[in-house]
């Protein structure tokens, strides 16, 4: 293809101020790839102003799938025209964190990134990302589904960490995209009962359609509803929302010896009051969290998607051109009529 002279990017200043700009075209070097972005998902973490504003202005976007339009010298694993999915953060595989299976704590993982972020026409994939975090997309996987590999990998990693398995009971607090991905991940891992909550009727309807065993209004007496269903609490509670009311429910509904996974960030000033005797000593409850995904999680996620065991295309409610990314952010903030929003820069290029 004939490449343009400039690269359009959506520059984030705050949630209500994303500006479309042109920048010099990213030039690739040895071992690097030039990726034409076909699908770039808006993640809930993109809207965390307390986290993003200190780094602004910047180009966000880390859930990306597309097509290779140029290959750097020395690469034979990939060819021009290949469809790929890549991860923006990759670990070193050699530090103490990596050797002990905690790759997302790796210092290199927290430094690596693309040039620029995924809300752009084209991105340069550095050699280290090509080597450790880039995968070919099978023909039966759509661009939109491929862009969901990274967030699905995060859900799979979280559930592997807490050891969701055959016969487990799971309550997922929140039925947004993360909640739905955890629903899929729970089924992949063999959970026998998966319950979900949400304050929004539209999202509860989606959770029901996707196969949750029961979906509760988050405003109701969720702990009692779960106990009425199981006769006890659940083995695992996964909080995909940082709402304080949901966190309080997590402590009320987890069974003795159970685990609470705090999947969603709650902000730098949030503190959790925990009664040691009843939570830890008497009931032996495990509290943990998870951050990001590693290359092995990306591979597992893509394999599961390609196998047809999950259909992530059904999570996508809107596909927008790059020039309408501001509308996408506003819909995400409203959170009522959208689920997964994908940006496809080809639509207005």
Are 248 and 337 in a shared domain?
Answer: no
What does the buried/exposed string (b/e) look like for 11-27 if buried means 16 or more CB atoms within 10 Å of the residue's CB? bbeebeebeeeeeeebe
Residue at 243 is within a domain: yes
CA distance 88 to 120: 14
End-to-end CA distance of the chain: 14
Are 243 and 298 in a shared domain?
Answer: no
- In this structure, the chain runs to a length of 349
pTM of the model: 0.96
Domain finish residue from 289, 307, 334: 289
Peptide bond into 144 cis (omega under 30): no
Are 30 and 110 in a shared domain?
Answer: yes
Residue at 43 is within a domain: yes
**For position 311, what pLDDT does the model report?**
96
Are 132 and 20 in a shared domain?
Answer: yes
**For position 272, what pLDDT does the model report?**
81
CATH at residue 248? 3.40.50.720
Residue at 227 is within a domain: yes
pLDDT tens track for 59-96? 999 999 999 999 999 999 999 999 999 999 999 999 99
pLDDT confidence tier of residue 47, bands split at 50, 70 and 90: very high
Q: Which of 116-120, 258-262, 264-268 has the lowest mean pLDDT?
A: 264-268
Closest CA to 44 of 245, 263, 237, 323: 263
Q: Is the pLDDT of residue 226 over 90?
A: no
Q: Is the pLDDT of residue 238 over 80?
A: yes
CATH at residue 297? 3.90.180.10
Are 229 and 315 in a shared domain?
Answer: no
| Mean pLDDT value across the chain | 95
Residue at 94 is within a domain: yes
Are 192 and 86 in a shared domain?
Answer: no
286-289 and 316-320: which strand pairing? unpaired
**For position 130, what pLDDT does the model report?**
98
Domain finish residue from 289, 317, 335: 289
pLDDT tens track for 309-342? 999 999 999 999 999 999 999 999 998 788 999 9
The residues near 317 (Cβ < 8 Å, ≥ 6 apart) are 337, 338, 339, 340, 341
pLDDT confidence tier of residue 172, bands split at 50, 70 and 90: very high
CA distance 29 to 218: 51
Domain finish residue from 253, 268, 289: 289
Cα dist. 260→102, 241, 250 in Å? 19, 13, 7
Contact 147, 40 (CB under 8 A): yes
Cα dist. 79→37, 85, 132 in Å? 16, 14, 17
**Domains of the chain: total:** 2
**For position 89, what pLDDT does the model report?**
96
Are 176 and 41 in a shared domain?
Answer: no
Residue at 216 is within a domain: yes
Are 31 and 97 in a shared domain?
Answer: yes
**For position 336, what pLDDT does the model report?**
76
Domain that holds residue 18: 6-150+292-348
Cα dist. 117→41, 58, 146, 251, 337 in Å? 12, 8, 17, 37, 26
Residue at 1 is within a domain: no
Paired residues of 238 in beta bridges: 172, 261
List the structure tokens of 53.
């504003």
Closest CA to 263 of 294, 287, 230, 295: 287
Contact 338, 317 (CB under 8 A): yes
CA distance 238 to 218: 14
Are 112 and 179 in a shared domain?
Answer: no
pLDDT tens track for 175-199? 999 999 999 999 999 999 999 999 9
**For position 266, what pLDDT does the model report?**
84
Closest CA to 306 of 124, 32, 83: 83
pLDDT tens track for 282-316? 999 999 999 999 999 999 999 999 999 999 999 99
The share of the chain scoring above pLDDT 90, in percent, equals 85
Q: Is the pLDDT of residue 1 over 80?
A: no
**For position 276, what pLDDT does the model report?**
86
Are 142 and 180 in a shared domain?
Answer: no
**For position 263, what pLDDT does the model report?**
96
Are 231 and 175 in a shared domain?
Answer: yes
């Amino acid at each position: 293809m004939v490449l343009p002279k400039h690269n359009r990017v959506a520059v984030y200043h705050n949630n209500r101020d994303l500006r479309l700009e042109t920048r010099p075209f990213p030039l690739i070097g040895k071992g690097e790839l030039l990726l034409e972005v076909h699908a770039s998902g808006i993640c809930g973490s993109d809207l965390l102003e307390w986290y993003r504003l200190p780094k602004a202005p910047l180009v966000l976007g880390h859930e990306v799938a597309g097509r290779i339009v140029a290959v750097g010298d020395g690469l034979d694993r990939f060819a021009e025209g290949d469809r790929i999915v890549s991860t923006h953060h990759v670990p070193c595989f050699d530090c103490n964190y990596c050797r002990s299976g905690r790759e997302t704590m790796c210092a290199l993982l927290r430094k690596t990134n693309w040039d620029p972020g995924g809300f752009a026409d084209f991105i340069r994939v550095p050699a280290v990302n090509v080597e450790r975090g880039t995968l070919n997309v099978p023909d039966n996987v759509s661009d939109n589904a491929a862009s969901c590999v990274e967030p699905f990998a995060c859900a799979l990693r979280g559930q592997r960490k807490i050891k969701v398995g055959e016969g487990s009971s799971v309550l997922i607090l929140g039925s947004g995209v993360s909640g739905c991905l955890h629903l899929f991940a729970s089924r992949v891992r063999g959970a026998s009962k998966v319950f979900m909550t949400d304050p929004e009727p539209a999202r509860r309807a989606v959770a029901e359609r996707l196969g949750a065993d029961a979906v509760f209004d988050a405003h109701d007496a969720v702990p009692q509803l779960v106990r009425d269903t199981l006769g006890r609490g659940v083995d695992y509670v996964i909080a995909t929302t940082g709402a304080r009311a949901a966190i309080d429910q997590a402590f009320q509904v987890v069974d003795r010896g159970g685990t609470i996974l705090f999947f969603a960030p709650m902000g730098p000033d949030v503190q959790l009051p925990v009664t040691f005797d009843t939570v830890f000593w008497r009931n032996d409850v495990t509290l943990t969290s998870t951050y990001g995904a590693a290359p092995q999680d990306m591979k597992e996620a893509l394999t599961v998607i390609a196998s047809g065991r999950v259909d992530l295309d059904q999570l996508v409610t809107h596909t927008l051109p790059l020039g309408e990314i501001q509308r996408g952010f506003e819909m995400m903030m409203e959170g009522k009529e959208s689920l997964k929003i994908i940006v496809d820069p080809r639509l207005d290029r």
